[in-house]
Amino acid sequence: MENLKIRYESLLQALVSLQDSLDLLQNFSNVTNIRLHAAFRDSCIQRFEYSFDAFWKFIKLYLEECENVNLESNSPRYILKVAGSIAMLLKDENLIILFQALADRNLTSHSYNVETAEKIVCNTPLYYKTMFLIVMQLKITMMARIKKL
């Protein structure tokens, strides 16, 4: 359970970092300097990348330690599917959003395209909100399990 707590704290830091970047992008959305906008956008995308990676790895560890699930694969898609099959873990609408986030995450690591970057950064607030709400729900479950120990 200690590894899960460490992974949770790391994920929370990543999500706070992502929110900070989204706030900066929003606060400076009126900036006419294209290079400055691109820097804020790219910061959001980079923080989305590592937040999403931290998120699915946290879900993996949660499945193993709290749900006693024996995982056959380490792929993010597989981990999310398994989490979706556990009724209380991920709702269908969250799973749809997370699969889109995974697709966008995969796009960020293959090549750089401004149009793709703009699309991803537009989707990132929804991805952030979805990951954050799931993590907060799982925190409650984790705390209840810790009290039982």
Would the pLDDT of 77 be above 70?
A: yes
Would the pLDDT of 87 be above 70?
A: no
CB 62 within 8 A of CB 19: no
Would the pLDDT of 123 be above 90?
A: yes
Would the pLDDT of 132 be above 90?
A: yes
Could you tell me the fold of the domain covering 2-148? Four Helix Bundle (Hemerythrin (Met), subunit A) (1.20.120)
- Band the pLDDT of 50: cuts 50, 70, 90: very high
Residue 5's Cβ-count burial label (10 Å; 0-12, 13-18, 19+) is exposed
Place of tokens 């792929």: 75
Q: What is the mean pLDDT of residues 1-20?
A: 94
Place of tokens 């706030």: 23
Would the pLDDT of 10 be above 90?
A: yes
Q: What is the mean pLDDT of residues 110-138?
A: 92
- Band the pLDDT of 27: cuts 50, 70, 90: confident
**DSSP character string of 93-138:** HHHHHHHHHHHHHHHHTT---HHHHHHHHHHHHHHHHHHHHHHHHH
- What are the sequence ranges of the domains in the chain? 2-148
CB 100 within 8 A of CB 76: no
